[in-house]
Chain A
Amino acid sequence: MRKVTVTLLIMASFAMGGCYEDTDITLHDPGVYRGTTDPLLAKQANPEQQAKLAARFLEGQSDR
């Protein structure tokens, strides 16, 4: 009888494990990139390149 009760209690506690709900916000920081460097990164940081792209946007996508 005792064994049954203990077994049932253990099973119940495992089942209860699934009832857990964490209401706190968790932030995940992704891992650091491990691939080869893209030459584009340096280019995009260049303000001249950004200006070029902005001009291109106005040329083609404004409601002219």
Chain B
Amino acid sequence: MKLTKKRDLSPDGTTVPLKGILGSAIDRRTFLRRTSLAVGGGAVAGALQPVMMRRAEAAAGAAGGETEIRKSVCTHCSVGCGVVAEVQNGVWTGQEPDFDSPFNLGGHCAKGASVREHGHGERRLKHPMKLSGGKWKQVSWDEAINEIGDKVLDIRKRSGPDSVYWLGSAKFNNEQAYLFRKFAGLWGTNNVDHQARICHSTTVAGVANTWGYGAMTNSYNDMHNSKAMFFIGSNAAEAHPVAMQHILKGKENGAKMIVVDPRFTRTAAHADQFMRIRPGTDVPLIWGMLYHIFENGWEDKEYIRQRVFGLDEIRKEVAKWTPDEVERVSGVPGDQVKLAAQTMAENRPGTIVWCMGGTQHTIGNNNTRAYCVLQLALGNVGVSGGGANIFRGHDNVQGATDLGILSHTLPGYYGLAEGSWAHWARVWGVDFDWLKGRFDTGYMDTKTGDEDGAMGIPFANPMNSAGIPVSRWIDGVLEDSRNIDQRDNLKAMFFWGHAPNSQTRGPEMKKALETLELVVVVDPYPTHTAVMPDRQEGMYLLPAATQFETYGSVTASNRSFQWRDKLIEPLFEALPDHTIMYKMAKKLGFADELFKNIQVNSADEPLIEDILREINRGMWTIGYTGQSPERLKLQLLNKHTFNTTTLLAEGGPCDGEYYGLPWPCWGTPEMKHPGTPILYDTSKSVADGGLNFRARFGVEFEGKNLLAEDSYSVGAEIQDGYPEFSADMLKQLGWWKDLTAEEKAAAEGKNWKTDLSGGIQRVAIAHGCAPFGNAKARAIVWTFPDRVPIHREPLYTSRRDLVEKYPTYEDRKSHYRLPTRYASIQAQDKTSEYPLILTSGRLVEYEGGGDETRSNPWLAELQQEMFAEIHPGDANDTGIRDGDWIWLEGAEGAKVKVRAQITERVGRGVVFMPFHFAGWYEGKDLLDKYPEGAAPYVRGEAANQAFTYGYDSVTQMQETKCTLCKISAA
């Protein structure tokens, strides 16, 4: 032992001779007595790994070679953290923090800090694969495209274009998203959708129908200015970790933080107030808060007079929600609700944040509207520090939603009416009648209702009616074809950047995947789709490139655009999505129309800049028109010039612009609108990024004025409410003469949404007015099933005593082309067999369906097993101990085998599962079914397998936050 004792010190610091019975040198026993053994920590845990993992090979940095710096944006969530890559000889060798980005200032969560692994790609899908005789066979791209194309065209001939489902992705960049929606339109179907349906569809519907646009009103950075922050159904610490940087800064600036959740989440751990709520009872809680606000006169009466419509009907409903009733239904004690209401009232501006906890319900649209009404009552909308800060999910779900990868609309939320198709036909440069001919309108004449399966209502025009949403695709396959509002069932399905384990009803999904004639997965990873069904043929896996292997623009949750540079060439045989779309369109025969105004190079790659320019030419409704490639690239080079709270560039080449030119960025790029950082903010002129509520619902309703009263943005020449702008309105106002000759020619007979010159928008803004009008926000939505948001018990509820007073909807014969059940399901009492409430959520290490992140060893190591969080009380009742394997059975009998994690994080009677795992089915690891070398490191049961039926009454969002289950030791 090298350690030598040099000297001994007595308590007063003087040296004394060494004492001790056993001699002078320091002995092992004394050393051990004085040393504290290491507590917890790494080496011991490392040595106790039960699983033998082979050492992940270090990617040897290419020795020598110039180091290039390239910039991109993380692909994992909507915060949009900047990613800086060091690339040597085409190999991604290092990842540096992007200090310049005002969104993350260099910070990353575990996922963002791991993106360099995409350049390793060990478990990527490497080649096009075909399922043949139950085994995966490698095929060439041409072979795959040809065979798929032939099959798809055959299905079109037999069953019509609506029998092919094009499921797109929130992980497309904007250009790919737009292209995909256009692709589906030219193919001739509205059976196209993406993750937004099962994520924030109820938000978009509820919020847009309240005040005009369904997007995040402020920004993550703007939360520095909040005085109160109310989180309901949002676990930002795990789902939007870098947003916590801004949230905690706001908290340090003095904001009060309130968290409402069934679990004591990591976000709740930072909160001042926490309210544990029974899953599915958001409306009672919010109305319970408004009860106190109205009772004490805390509402902003002037704001309401000027800018809110229909609040009196809300008052009537709120009056029913006394503290006792709120506690009875939601479980939250009265004093907590009152304190929260008081805090929000006394600390303004306050912001509200919600995510899946609020949206994923059969009454999701009621929840989202209730949140908006709360903010309207407090006067918190359209102010810095306030607003409805809706945290979107995937990196480009905002962009994909805006660009319309949705079964019920076209890009820009134009809807599916004839006029909307006419607008886009003009932008696309295709003949409208040709486009119409692509759709299967003929089926309406040939399909007959049958005695046993008659819909009893007229069949819908496939071009103008919403297609089947992703939440219901399995019913599109399995439902009796007589009951579906299209010619035939779905026969072919493309999972293009979308996993299946984010949708519910596992056993039926497995059957549906086995029933389809053709399943095509286009993804960088195989996903659960590849292994879940027991099939012998008819499945293809096409390797797509990640966003780091291509370039384009992406829209963050706060509506800001960011440009991504290409970091590396696509790995193995992967191709960028837009190249695959070109190949597919060429095979299917409409490539010329799809790429009429878009250059395609010799490698079959469409030019991204051309696609963005086409978007700029057509998306007038939400102002996707001013964000040209040049403006975005300039901002990429000058990120550091933007203020980190206001997002305004002060000086520099982008002086006066807001970071990302947040939409609406009105008019043409030449107009150089700076973007709108905070929606509905009347304290600025529209030309400077100000706005007011949109006039979308008419000028009056039931005899009352819907337009704003005495409220208008700074500099508006019309100092009151006004309807949306059209050519006729400009003429009436005498502003028509301000248009140039060219603009007049284009704008004649059009309105602000359909004038392709942008002249109407330009002139309206020049006169200080918002092109979309100036109206009140409406607290009631008369076109929704519930005019006033009310509470309805979840379909699978644990509270049978409340069903009579708060029943769900009546069954519907046809919604989004499918019969949809409500009351007939709620009528069944499942509580005796399934006594526990089941809910789901996210983990910080994984994202979405999880194949991408579970294939990353750095992330996979952190969460190695699928688990369920169970309260100690419930665990003891069922004889389960921490770490045991358990069977968790959902209310319709679907089973999953997971580890039990006993924790007080969940309340008594509630079980939580993360939904990111996949690759198992009913306890069996499906490792052998993955293509060689493409299985994720960590596999587990898919939580949503156990979740049940239940769909929102407006958007068909699935009810994955409250159902029933039971647990037993395995």
Contact = CB atoms under 8 A, between A and B. Distances in A.
A and B: bona fide binding partners: yes
B8 A20 contact: no
B63 interface: no
Contact of B106 (A20, A23, A60, A63): A60
Interface string B246-278: 000100000000000000000000000000000
Contact of A30 (B3, B10, B16, B34): B3
Given A60-B99, A60-B106, A64-B105, A26 B26 contact: yes
B9 A25 contact: yes
Contacts of B644: 64
Given A22-B30, A26-B26, A60 B97 contact: yes
Interface string B106-135: 100000000000000000000000000000
B43 interface: no
A59 B22 CA distance: 57
A22 B105 CA distance: 53
Given A22-B20, A22-B30, A28 B5 contact: yes
B480 to A, nearest CB: 61
Interface in A9-35: 17, 20, 22-31
A29 B5 CA distance: 7
B4 A22 contact: no
A63 B20 CA distance: 54
Q: Chain B: interface secondary structure?
A: loop
B11 interface: yes
Contact of B10 (A24, A29, A31, A59): A24
Contacts of B28: none
B6 interface: yes
Contacts of B6: 27-29
A31 B4 CA distance: 8
A17 B4 CA distance: 22
A17 B29 CA distance: 12
A19 to B, nearest CB: 9
Contacts of B22: 17
Interface in B262-296: none
Nearest to B106: A60
A25 B15 CA distance: 9
Contacts of B99: 59-60
Contacts of B10: 24-25
A8 B3 CA distance: 36
Contact of B11 (A25, A29, A59, A64): A25
Taking residues whose C-beta sits less than 8 angstroms from the other chain, chain A's interface range is: 10 to 19
B21 A27 contact: no
B19 interface: yes
Given A22-B30, A64-B644, A28 B3 contact: yes
Nearest to B15: A24
Contacts of A64: 105, 644
Nearest to B99: A60
B5 A26 contact: yes
A59 B9 CA distance: 45
A17 B21 contact: yes
Interface string A41-64: 000000000000000000110011
B737 interface: no
B21 A26 contact: no
A11 to B, nearest CB: 15
A28 B105 CA distance: 44
B20 A23 contact: no
Contacts of B55: none
B54 interface: no
A26 B5 CA distance: 7
Contacts of B7: 26-27
A2 to B, nearest CB: 25
Nearest to A18: B29
Interface string B692-733: 000000000000000000000000000000000000000000
B20 A20 contact: yes
A33 to B, nearest CB: 11
B117 to A, nearest CB: 23
Interface in B604-648: 644
A63 B3 contact: no
A20 B27 CA distance: 13
B2 interface: yes
Interface in B757-778: none
Nearest to A61: B106
B26 A24 contact: no
Contacts of B2: 30-31
Given A17-B21, A20-B21, A29 B4 contact: yes
B335 to A, nearest CB: 35
A27 B6 CA distance: 7
A26 B893 CA distance: 67
Contacts of A63: 249
Contacts of B105: 60, 64
Nearest to A32: B2
Contacts of A28: 3-6, 26
A28 B106 CA distance: 42
Contacts of B5: 26-28
Contacts of B20: 20, 22
B19 to A, nearest CB: 6
- Most B CB atoms within 10 A — which of A17, A26, A59? A26
Nearest to B100: A59
Contacts of B16: 24
B823 to A, nearest CB: 54
A28 B35 CA distance: 12
B8 A25 contact: yes
Nearest to A16: B21
Contacts of B26: 26, 28
A8 B21 CA distance: 19
A30 B4 CA distance: 7
Nearest to A14: B21
A20 B644 CA distance: 63
B9 A23 contact: no
A22 B11 contact: no
Nearest to A25: B9
A22 B8 CA distance: 10
A22 B26 CA distance: 12
14 contacts: A22-B20, A24-B10, A25-B8, A26-B5, A26-B34, A27-B7, A28-B4, A28-B5, A30-B2, A31-B2, A31-B4, A59-B99, A60-B99, A60-B106
Given A22-B30, A64-B644, 17 more contacts: A17-B21, A20-B21, A24-B9, A24-B16, A25-B10, A26-B7, A26-B34, A27-B6, A27-B7, A27-B9, A28-B4, A28-B6, A28-B26, A30-B3, A31-B2, A60-B99, A60-B106
> Which 6 residue pairs of A and B lie closest in terms of their CB atoms, listed nearest first?
A31-B2, A25-B9, A60-B99, A29-B6, A17-B21, A24-B8
